Structure 1
Amino acid sequence: MFLQILDSSGVAFGRMLLRGIGQVYLLPSAWAGLLLLGAAAWQSWTLAGACLLGASAGTAWGLSAGDVPGSRAGLHGYNGALTGLGVMAVLPPGLLAWSLVVPLACLSAWMAHAWRRRCGLPPYTAPFVLVTWLLMAVAISLGLAREAAVAADVAGAGWIGAVQGLLRGIGQVMFLDDLGAGALCWLGLALGSPRAALSAGLASALCLLVAGLAGFPADAAALGLYGFNAVLAAEALRAVRPGRWLWPCAAVLLSLGLMRGFQLLGLPSLTAPFLLATWVVRQAALHRPHQARAA
């Protein structure tokens, strides 16, 4: 009997942490989370391990805080998963990096929990952004930050290049710039919600189109750096006003402009453009007078 209970608890916890990974894309789907974890493993076992460890730490913190419904929905895991990925993006993989994943993931989970209780705006990925920015500042000041990788020429020509940029825009939400990883992320979204996959694809494509027309650097577009904030913004606003595409499109374009602003200032954006664009447009959508009933 004890082993059956333990096995059942283990399966339940596994579903929770996979939902947490799915919630990186605002999808409380364990199947989507499993494929997203597989996408990280496709590119790097280190990234996959950090993602899984961070999601596990955040989920465990949520359970220890007594928020079982939130843990079941994956609400405590996604900032932890992103924080784990962020640690490996900032620091060279090693003892220091791995030792920081759990405490920083728990910190981001605590921040998200406190935010939901005290603030009217949803936290989304704000705890991950704040924790990772702090880590970046400390790592740079101490000379511990890993060297930035030199971007290779990854763009194909014509439609091939457009598809590559679109898929990388989806994968870059999880720091994944590999084309196959981006494709697996998109499949994970389709498994969790076909509408989410459609929304992500359209948002990434729209950013590629507008960035090209505006003359933004083509190498950044090919790596998906203009699309990943838009992918999240589109999904967040689609959930706020189902069937109303004006608001997601507005958030997508605003996130693109903010992303370019961060680039021009030489600042690491992470998902801050998504946060700012979504909060602004969300407030406008929810407080618009004489709103039509959502479809």
Structure 2
Amino acid sequence: MHAAATDAPSAALRTLLRSLGQIVLQPNAFTGACLLAAWWVAEPRLACAALMGAVAANVSAMLAGCRDDDTRAGLHGFNGALAGLAAFSFIRDAATATAVAILAATATAWLVGPWSRWLRARGLSCLSSPYLIVTWCWLPMITSGAQPVSLASLHSPGLTQWSGGVLAGFAQTGFGSGALAGWLVLTGIAAASCRHALWALGGATLASAAHVLLGATPHSFDAGLLGFNGALTALALIDCGVVPMLGGVAVSIVLQAAAAHFGWPAMAAPFVLATWCVQWVRHRVMRGAIADGSAQSMESARPVTAPVTRTN
């Protein structure tokens, strides 16, 4: 009886932490704890927002009858956590941000099921698209319209500034900031998989370098806004091979640069869209290969008839 009583809170805590870890595509409780520490270092209200959103989404997923295995893996909670983080990042009033965070997180939990099924039928992953859809629904109500980003040049950052900007990109995967917070996030990824951490670091570095060459602002680089989509894209496509992964990172760079030029609040949309592009191409190629294989099998299975000899 005592073991059952203590196992339930422990399982709930692991589910909550895995929900946070899934923000960087790692279903790992220690990764989630590292992200929670990163938010606390960057800004304590972000840690509260992530916990609030993840709890609201997980409870809503249970009420919606979602699969327990998916919930325990954190697949329903991480979009809620991101929805909560977005609310507290864009809304300064705590009461309004809390209300929006809970409602938005709940909406993501109800959206994930049908939306992921629709995407899966087309060979695409859900990723963080539910929180993006929900956030874009309420964001125009509290903003007067974003202005295009200034394209002042960033001149050759030094080694310290460079490493700080790249690490800060990992903090931006969850709306955080600062090199220390980014280092905690990278540590959490490495705890789940050193291979994933190395490729994520490569994706963040590549994306940051490309945006610097494209003329990004110094503030954007120091805040880590240039590398986080590249890191997430590398993590999402790491099992597809090096070439598809690099192609996805390149697409995310182009999409983020376009969004910055027009002043669109893209957030993690470049990562999601770039990953979808690669997944769609792979899905089409695989379907074509299966169709060709089926045609060849039918051809080889066709019975061979012996020629008929006619005699007069």
What TM-score results when the alignment is normalised by the length of structure 1?
A: 0.88
Runs of at least 5 residues in structure 2 that lack an aligned partner in the other structure:
147-154, 290-312
In structure 1, the residue matched to 2:221 is 221
Runs of at least 5 residues in structure 1 that lack an aligned partner in the other structure:
146-154
What SS does structure 1 have at the residue aligned with 2:225? Answer: coil
The structure-2 alpha-carbon separation of the partners of 1:7 and 1:33, relative to structure 1 and needing over 3 Å to count, comes to same
The structure-2 alpha-carbon separation of the partners of 1:6 and 1:118, relative to structure 1 and needing over 3 Å to count, comes to farther
- Quote the Cα distance in structure 2 between the aligned partners of 1:26 and 1:207: 18
- Quote the Cα distance in structure 2 between the aligned partners of 1:186 and 1:20: 17
Kept in 1, the 8 Å contact 2:79–2:105? The answer is yes
- Quote the Cα distance in structure 2 between the aligned partners of 1:174 and 1:91: 16
Kept in 1, the 8 Å contact 2:237–2:275? The answer is yes
In structure 2, the residue matched to 1:69 is 69
Please state if 1:264 is matched with 2:267.
no
In structure 2, the residue matched to 1:148 is none
- Quote the Cα distance in structure 2 between the aligned partners of 1:156 and 1:64: 52
1:1-295 to structure 2, matched below 5 A, reads 1=1, 4-66=3-65, 67-120=67-120, 121-140=124-143, 157-239=157-239, 241=240, 244-288=241-285
- Quote the Cα distance in structure 2 between the aligned partners of 1:269 and 1:247: 22
- Quote the Cα distance in structure 2 between the aligned partners of 1:122 and 1:223: 28
What SS does structure 2 have at the residue aligned with 1:123? Answer: coil
Kept in 2, the 8 Å contact 1:19–1:72? The answer is yes
Tell me the number of residue pairs that the alignment of Structure 1 and Structure 2 aligns.
Answer: 277
- Give the letter for the 1:87 counterpart: A
- Quote the Cα distance in structure 2 between the aligned partners of 1:261 and 1:37: 31
- Quote the Cα distance in structure 1 between the aligned partners of 2:225 and 2:128: 17
Kept in 2, the 8 Å contact 1:203–1:252? The answer is yes
Identity %: 33
- Quote the Cα distance in structure 2 between the aligned partners of 1:126 and 1:88: 18
RMSD: 2.2
- Quote the Cα distance in structure 2 between the aligned partners of 1:119 and 1:19: 23
Question: Which one has the largest radius of gyration?
Answer: 2
Kept in 2, the 8 Å contact 1:82–1:174? The answer is yes
**Runs of 4+ more than 6 Å apart:** none
Kept in 2, the 8 Å contact 1:208–1:227? The answer is yes
Kept in 1, the 8 Å contact 2:46–2:85? The answer is yes
Kept in 1, the 8 Å contact 2:164–2:178? The answer is no
- Give the letter for the 2:231 counterpart: V
In structure 2, the residue matched to 1:151 is none
- Quote the Cα distance in structure 2 between the aligned partners of 1:11 and 1:96: 31
What SS does structure 2 have at the residue aligned with 1:288? Answer: helix
